[in-house]
Structure 1
Amino acid sequence: MDHLAIVIACVGLIGIGAQWIAWRTGLPAIALMLVAGLVAGPITGMIRPAEDFGHLLEPAVSLAVAVILFEGGLSLNLRELRHAEGAVHRLVLIGVPVGWVLGALACYYVAGLVWPVAILFAGILVVTGPTVVLPLLRQSSIAARPRAILKWEAIVNDPIGALCAVVTYEILRQAGSGATVWQGTVSLLIAAAVAGLIGYGVARALGWALPRGHVPEYLKAPVMLVAVIGTFVGSNAIQQETGLLAVTVMGIALANMNLASLRDFLAFKENMTIILVSGVFVLLSASLDLAVLRQFEWRFGLFLAALLFVVRPATVFVSLAFSRIPWRERLFIGWIAPRGIVAVAISGLFALRLDELGYGDGGTLVALSFAVVAATIVAHGFSIGTAARLLGITAPGGNGLLVVGATRWSLGLARALRSLGVGVTVADTSWQRLAPAREEAIPSYHGEILAEATEEGLDLQQFGVLAATTENEAYNALVCNEFAPELGRDNVYQLGDAAGDDPRRLPAALRGRTMFRSGLGVEDVAAREEAGWTFAALAVDDPATYAATVDALPDDGGPLLLLRRNGSLRFFSHASDPTPVAGETVLVYAPRDRLNGPSWQVIEPAEIPRSHQEVSA
């Protein structure tokens, strides 16, 4: 038991450590987890999953995959399908059969598998998988439509690929027992329909119970998790491998019921999914036997090339033919198709079953499936950003600033950042307050930033930092708390003093980071605007000279934000005091008469003709 506890701790450290290194370096997390698992498993022998976990390994991996698919289903809002232009339906209804047929041909003629095994393995390969696609999308700046298409395809096709393999296996088994193929296929389709109904029924039951107070707040997340596990196991009891379909349907159904209770569960399920993805991926890669790799033949390399450069692109081009998806996005989607946990887990499961049926090629599925996973992860993980840039489908910015609240001061901030080449958008519920932004061609968004419809009218991926500057401090705090999980607590800021003993002040834990070291509030900056304060940029050449220059400014203003060389923004606040280096730019807010000298670039209001006005959203 002590050894098993050490193994579990090592798996967690390796998986989360790989995720952290990926965050720090920008490398694909899935590639690092794959390498880490190989080093910890077959290379060093530190982790031997089959020996350490025994019979618990397969059910543990299956339950983890079920929770991952449920979490993916919870992120599938049907409104996203509007961005997909019907591509998801085509990739499911047309792409799965076409990919299955082309994959079977490649398995038989290129990899040399016998027809039954080739057909089964090709069914598994129609999946892309959220365990690998979602981390790639999280680390990449991809335009909204191809991002939505890849995410939906990965989550929806995952259980479909498992069902394709089950259908093939059951047909082979039924043929060996004398039953007709038609009987086996019909029974599987009925079981799949029942699984979908089970998942939808459980979702409806939760959707009825949670809002009515039948489950206390502290039990909502545990009840949801137990419901997922129970749905998965119950559906599998009816027909093996239909549990993945049931939990996927359950997640999608819950995601589209507009339940306020789900908001309390989202952070929990996201954290759990990251842990499960890390752990399961490390375990599966550590399970690979080096002796199995010796079965890898030269023709398997040709098969991988055919899969990457023929099967996947042809599947996407046929599926999206005559659609409204631009050809650049079709090329991108046709290239990005990494395989992950489900492909490996199902291949390992059916390899044993095929051997029992007398098909000798079943043993090669393990080596071939890991080769497919490794090849697609490396090829797509390291090329997704480059491919998106070459095809011109990257999301705009990623380091931009979203300013919530159109005031005289915030519009001056937006004007200053625009002059420095920083992408900035001003959002407000008042069309009249946004008029100056439109007159100066500053991108604006007219609407409630907290509304669900905002995601459809405003691409939030372009922003790395948020500044809430409305006249209502409590509303600013609410906006910061809403966007903190997505942007990060260190990237949401608001006006107002976070210090002091005034009981009417909001606690610092409920607010965003305070802008300015002195914590100027809304009334403070309004008074300084009337007094003639303005924004100015200071290019940092020598940190010592910069410090002396800034120290001469008033204590209640001074440095506001730092523009780093990589384009990212960092505000000066009571909790954060970034240190500029040569080549970076500091934006300050100070009286105009204190900004004399050649070092300062004072930002003046731009005079833009009305013919050049830009009205957004």
Structure 2
Amino acid sequence: MDPVTTFALIGVLGIGSQWLAWRFQLPAIVLMLLAGVLAGPLTGLIDPEASFGFLLKPIIAVAVAVILFEGGLTLNFKSLRDAGPSVLRLVMIGAPVGWLLSAISVHYIAGLSWETAIVFGGIMIVTGPTVVTPLLRQARMEPRVARILKWEAIVNDPIGALAAVLAYEMVVALRTSTTVGGAIWHMVLGIVVASVLGYLGGRVIAWAFNRGKVPEYMKVPVMFGALLAIYAASDYILHESGLLAVTIMGVVLANTHLPSLDEIRRFKEHATVILVSGVFILLAASLTMAELASIDLRIVLFVAIVIFIARPLTVLLSLMGSGLPWTEKSMIAWIGPRGVVLVAVSGLFGTQLAELGIEDGRSLTTLSFALVAGTVVLHGFSIGPLARRLKLTSEAVPGLLIVGGSRWAVNLARALEKAEIPTMIVDRNWFRLRAAREAGVKVYHGEILSETVEHTLDLSAYGVVLAATDNDGYNALVCTDLGPEFGRRQVFQVGRCDETEGRAALPVTIGGRAFGSGMPYEDFMRLEAAGWAFRVTRLTEEFGLDDYLALNEDARILGRINDSGLLFYDGKPPEKIPAGTRILAFHHKDKDRGSGSS
């Protein structure tokens, strides 16, 4: 198969697996593994070596460089300090302990050399945020445990890759130098060269962006170009130091407070999803039937030792004396799924170790696939039942986050609270939160768009966002910013006042879905002042939607509540709503018939 067709097929399989995983709530990594093995060793549809030849290694190397750079962009030192003492323990104590225990397991259980074991042990620090987050959402985990597991995965992602790069540099130094002194010098030189280039690259980009030397539309292309340049320059000066350089460059940029860093990071995340999918399919398709057949009892035992001994021991040692209940420690000790970064970095370093003459380095790809499959399947199927048994699940349905503390927003929050839907009102003006505080509604005083909110406000209890301020542009910005986290279908804003103003109107490509059939903020205020109110009413077999509307002709049906939570309608409500559903309506209190919270 020609390279272009192979690229296209890899893209279809990778992105298709991600979409199917989202559609059917399955771990994407398992579907990508099945797709790669099916297209590669089982059917021979994809043969990366034949299609790309000598370009295969550079393709994977550049993709891994971008992945590690994006991981470095997530390592904000302030975030690390704010993550809490438990996360700091898992990083400061857990990462070295996990590295040591993993390396011992690789050497004595899997039977690989110490050189390979040290490199792979560093990579195994990574627990995979792209795998952990869906599992936590699926299990509806208690907020504190979910926060610790999420932050451990985010912080350890770049740290694990960094550890693997340093371990590899040490192995290269020992293999290419004739004396111990020469080996130490080679390793130190590699770290210094990569660190200097990565630091300078990050600082120069930060300076150029902050001084307006690069226009907004060119920031991402310039960053990509600088990333490739730093990687190539570092590799040219000292072979295989480029990965360390780009990781450091990402860390430097993450801590320079660039105004446009969030947008850049989001674009990089999208690029990383594409690259990770492609690399995963490439590596899975590169497996041979012999390598698949080599997954014997020894590898199965290695996976079991990592899951049942190394991970729990690492976590329990790290959290000793932390004050966490044993149930939470047990859950954190059990959940440690590995992700695509482990496979991508292992595949690259495995090939490079083999080129250094360490033949068992080729086993890293097989070993990483076995570990990923084992952890994802075991943890994926057990997290829900175990969380329920340990009483660590959140029983509350996903709630509503309202941005804007108007009177009618407070009334909406009170109606939903009576219907047992958790609601919080966020506003940056303390005075505007007065009515909400007096009504007993949960409030947060702060700027929802600020980076501080990410670390101080737990959003896991909320599934829907409503931007309800008197500023259309701000509402659109809130929905655009929170859309990737909550899902585009779950962010709403009050109707825009400028929809008929032609060129002055906001672009329809930004913002959220229309709340209340697009009714503007001013109309809600006017109707609320005229005596309108929000009501939640349960429909029954005897009292259906038609009966309700016949008694409440002026009612505006805004959404419905069922066992899965709250859903707003962004247009006219459906003509048929099942019995047992509770509807959320806005209508005049004096004309309230057949309604009430239930």
TM-score > 0.5, shorter chain as reference: yes
Change (3 A) 1:461 1:536: same
Structure 2 CA distance for aligned equivalents of residues 505 and 71 of structure 1: 35
Cα distance, 1:306 vs structure 2: 0.9
Tell me the alpha carbon deviations over residues 445-468 of structure 1, each in whole angstroms, 9 at most, x when there is no partner. 122323332223322233222112
Change (3 A) 1:214 1:395: farther
2:143 counterpart of 1:154: no
2:598 counterpart of 1:595: no
Cα distance, 1:254 vs structure 2: 1.4
Which deviates more, 275-284 or 448-457?
448-457
Structure 1 CA distance for aligned equivalents of residues 573 and 41 of structure 2: 45
1:235-314 matches, within 5 Å, as 235-314=234-313
Structure 2 CA distance for aligned equivalents of residues 168 and 59 of structure 1: 21
1:106-505 matches, within 5 Å, as 106-129=105-128, 132=131, 143-171=146-174, 173-174=175-176, 178-180=178-180, 182-323=181-322, 327-345=326-344, 347-348=346-347, 361-387=360-386, 390=389, 399-496=398-495, 501-502=500-501
Tell me the alpha carbon deviations over residues 247-266 of structure 1, each in whole angstroms, 9 at most, x when there is no partner. 22222221222212324423
Cα distance, 1:224 vs structure 2: 0.5
Which deviates more, 85-94 or 529-538?
85-94
Which deviates more, 473-482 or 353-362?
353-362
| Counterpart secondary structure, 1:14 | helix
Structure 2 CA distance for aligned equivalents of residues 553 and 455 of structure 1: 42
| Counterpart secondary structure, 2:259 | coil
The residue number in structure 2 matching 1:614 is none
Query: Is the contact made by 1:559 and 1:587 (CA closer than 8 Å) also made in structure 2?
Result: yes
The residue number in structure 2 matching 1:563 is 561
Give the partner amino acid of 2:513.
R
The residue number in structure 1 matching 2:569 is 572
The residue number in structure 1 matching 2:582 is 585
The residue number in structure 1 matching 2:513 is 513
| Counterpart secondary structure, 2:210 | coil
Query: Is the contact made by 2:283 and 2:365 (CA closer than 8 Å) also made in structure 1?
Result: no
Query: Is the contact made by 2:480 and 2:510 (CA closer than 8 Å) also made in structure 1?
Result: yes
Structure 2 CA distance for aligned equivalents of residues 418 and 146 of structure 1: 29
Change (3 A) 1:357 1:213: closer
Tell me the alpha carbon deviations over residues 559-585 of structure 1, each in whole angstroms, 9 at most, x when there is no partner. 011223311x22223488696334322
Tell me the alpha carbon deviations over residues 229-275 of structure 1, each in whole angstroms, 9 at most, x when there is no partner. 22222223344443222222222221222212324423422221111
After TM superposition, the score normalised by the length of structure 2 is 0.88
Which deviates more, 464-473 or 106-115?
106-115
Which deviates more, 383-392 or 147-156?
383-392
Query: Is the contact made by 2:172 and 2:356 (CA closer than 8 Å) also made in structure 1?
Result: no
Structure 2 CA distance for aligned equivalents of residues 211 and 575 of structure 1: 46
Give the partner amino acid of 2:493.
Q
Give the partner amino acid of 1:584.
T
Unaligned regions of 5+ residues in structure 1, if any?
A: 604-617
Change (3 A) 1:320 1:537: closer
Structure 1 CA distance for aligned equivalents of residues 435 and 516 of structure 2: 25
Which deviates more, 480-489 or 250-259?
480-489
Query: Is the contact made by 1:71 and 1:269 (CA closer than 8 Å) also made in structure 2?
Result: yes
| Counterpart secondary structure, 2:596 | strand
Tell me the alpha carbon deviations over residues 479-523 of structure 1, each in whole angstroms, 9 at most, x when there is no partner. 333323433333222223568635576554454332223x33233
Structure 1 CA distance for aligned equivalents of residues 501 and 97 of structure 2: 67
| Counterpart secondary structure, 2:441 | coil
Query: Is the contact made by 2:350 and 2:362 (CA closer than 8 Å) also made in structure 1?
Result: yes
1:522-561 matches, within 5 Å, as 522-542=521-541, 545-550=544-549, 553-554=552-553, 557-561=555-559
Cα distance, 1:60 vs structure 2: 1.0
Give the partner amino acid of 2:596.
Q
Structure 1 CA distance for aligned equivalents of residues 543 and 596 of structure 2: 19
Change (3 A) 1:200 1:118: closer
Structure 2 CA distance for aligned equivalents of residues 69 and 579 of structure 1: 50
Change (3 A) 1:430 1:331: same
Query: Is the contact made by 1:131 and 1:277 (CA closer than 8 Å) also made in structure 2?
Result: no
Tell me the alpha carbon deviations over residues 387-417 of structure 1, each in whole angstroms, 9 at most, x when there is no partner. 5555566679682211122222111110111
| Counterpart secondary structure, 1:40 | helix
1:43-122 matches, within 5 Å, as 43-86=42-85, 90-122=89-121
Give the partner amino acid of 2:202.
A
The residue number in structure 1 matching 2:11 is 12
Change (3 A) 1:85 1:183: farther
Cα distance, 1:55 vs structure 2: 1.6
Query: Is the contact made by 1:130 and 1:155 (CA closer than 8 Å) also made in structure 2?
Result: no
Tell me the alpha carbon deviations over residues 130-150 of structure 1, each in whole angstroms, 9 at most, x when there is no partner. 665566668775632331122
Change (3 A) 1:117 1:204: closer
Structure 1 CA distance for aligned equivalents of residues 226 and 586 of structure 2: 54
Change (3 A) 1:398 1:80: farther
Which deviates more, 98-107 or 422-431?
98-107
Query: Is the contact made by 1:28 and 1:382 (CA closer than 8 Å) also made in structure 2?
Result: no
Structure 1 CA distance for aligned equivalents of residues 572 and 19 of structure 2: 23
Give the partner amino acid of 1:158.
A
Which deviates more, 571-580 or 483-492?
571-580
Query: Is the contact made by 1:498 and 1:507 (CA closer than 8 Å) also made in structure 2?
Result: no
Change (3 A) 1:57 1:434: same
> How many residues end up aligned between the 2 structures?
593
Cα distance, 1:333 vs structure 2: 3.8
